[in-house]
A and B are shown apart, each in its own frame.
Chain A
């Protein structure tokens, strides 16, 4: 069981992470680099001569982009180990996993890990005004955990009590509210911030959908392989 989860998770996470990294470099990174020109003061929003320059910042920095590919792949591998672990738990409880269901698993993962936290804390550009880092991390982890538990209850729970608890879990972080700064005084134009959040979420949805499909596919494939070979442990 351990090696089946580990192998499926590593392969699915690596493949989905690589695709996520390439999509990020193509669509998200240019917006981030553009925002850094405002963060560093090379461009200013309002007032100065260069204001409103809507030129795309671009270019490839091998070390910086290489590190982004490495870390995106790592993070999706982490996601994959948790996702395949959840699939294994479901199968252990008698729910069969099919490859096409992987799409649902992946979408649910996207909602829990990226979409729900983005409702309170949208993917932020460098230079955005933000509240205390520690508070935001607590809210982020709390939201991801509560949303994931809520989705699991909707998917596997029975009866209206389970659905009611699920709705409460999903709503609670947003009723409590994400930590926000007292004043919004970031130097970055809201047009860029909106585009960044939209693109980050779009790339996340594609990558998570792929991650779910690949995780289910590798999980089933590894299951067949371990049936073919005699069990040693």
Chain B
């Protein structure tokens, strides 16, 4: 019983942590690499070209 309760709590906690970190990573790549605001575009211009992202 105890083991069951622990595993029921433990696995979703891991998955939530993984999903949250992956989402933060995706948001960083999306904003720094792909957002089309002109200030961001100009600042990240050379990086975006070198990373092979569609730039302009």
Contacts and interface: CB of A to CB of B under 8 A. Distances in A.
A82 B49 contact: no
B25 A121 contact: no
Interface residues of B, number: 34
A125 interface: yes
Contact of B56 (A28, A74, A133, A140): A133
Given A5-B17, A5-B21, A82-B26, A130 B51 contact: no
A2 B52 contact: no
Contact of B29 (A78, A133, A204): A78
Contact of A6 (B21, B44, B55, B56): B21
Most buried by B among A74, A80, A84, A203: A74
B30 to A, nearest CB: 8
A72 B36 CA distance: 17
Interface in B5-45: 11, 13-15, 17-22, 24-29, 32-34, 36, 43-45
The 9 closest A-B pairs by CB, nearest first: A81-B25, A78-B28, A123-B52, A136-B54, A78-B29, A2-B17, A85-B22, A82-B25, A71-B47
Interface of B: 11, 13-15, 17-22, 24-29, 32-34, 36, 43-56
